[in-house]
Amino acid sequence: MTTLGEQVYVLRDKERDQVEVYEYDVVAYRLQRCLSVPNIFGFADMTSCEHFLCLYISDPITECIHSLGLEGNAAQWPVSDKPRGLSVNAAHNVLVTCRFIQKIKEFSPRGDLLRDVTLPNDVIHPGHAIQLTSGQFIVCHGLFGDPVHRVCTLSVDGHEIVRSHGGQPGSDTGQYDVPSYLAVDNSEFVFAADVNNRRVTLLSPTLDYIRQVVSRDQVKWWPVRLCLDAQRRRLYIADNEWKDGKYVAGRVVVPKIKI
């Protein structure tokens, strides 16, 4: 799920290894059109680039990134590892979080690998990373059975933890239970999707707890993805149902909150 211009884009898995992108207008959420993604077998995330007017989709099955232009033109490039979360930095490059090798890979818009960022040893199973204007990274990490679940600010080279919020997994105010995704506004306040606690937490730019902006009463299933439309001050949440080892239903939640 991502926004681009006046549209919201939502990924939907189809039968027989097909993935479609649904385009909705941001005012009435009317379906505008459906785009098919060629040669894709699965997806983990989607993000957009306002500069190049395109969508990027991570495919962990074929270990590649798909680029999809708004006219339907498509391309892809290999990651050589299973890609997870995606984001676009200020240089319009694509940041790919590789959960199982604890790395962030930075690619040019054409798919050239620019650098590997190896994360600290205790940043286990990173799910999503965003690069701040300072060059530092905000990363969320932690899966079932991991000793630490948290949101971290990392140094520019990604080797050091500058500050963090979280620790041992749990449901208290300062804890997470599988923090899966992040969004950062123009003032660098951080929104963190806390999947198993079924909530979204708002943190200050220094990762101090502010409040829960979405609670379990506002979602039906699991808040697995976030998208922040900074211009309209609107937060979109992918609320998906997980059953028998796969997602079987989903919806987009737009809560009424002050951000």
Q: Which residues of 66-104 are buried (b: 16+ CB within 10 A; e: fewer)?
A: bbbebeeebebbebebbbbbbbbbeeebbbbbbbeebbb
Which residue range forms the structural domain that includes residue 192? 119-259
pLDDT mean over 199-206? 96
- We report the CATH number of the domain holding residue 234 as 2.120.10.30
d(CA 224, CA 244): 17
pLDDT in tens, 44-55: 999 999 999 999
Domain count, the chain: 1
Q: Is the pTM of this model over 0.75?
A: yes
Angle of CA points 93, 176, 217, to nearest 5°: 100
Has residue 206 been placed in a domain?
yes
Has residue 38 been placed in a domain?
no
Which has more confidence, 155 or 247? 155
The arrangement of strands across the sheet holding 161-167 comes to 126-131, 137-141, 149-154, 161-167
pLDDT in tens, 28-42: 888 888 888 888 888
Has residue 97 been placed in a domain?
no
pLDDT in tens, 70-86: 887 899 999 999 999 99
Q: Give the contacts of 241 (CB within 8 A, at least 6 positions apart).
A: 220, 221, 222, 247, 248, 249, 250
Question: Using an 8 Å Cβ cutoff, are 78 and 100 in contact?
Answer: no
Has residue 218 been placed in a domain?
yes
Has residue 89 been placed in a domain?
no
Has residue 252 been placed in a domain?
yes
Backbone torsion region of residue 147, taken as left when φ is above 0, otherwise alpha when ψ lies between -120 and 50, otherwise beta: alpha
Has residue 70 been placed in a domain?
no
Per mean pLDDT, which range of 15-19, 120-124, 207-211, 255-259 is the poorest?
A: 15-19
d(CA 64, CA 226): 22
Has residue 246 been placed in a domain?
yes
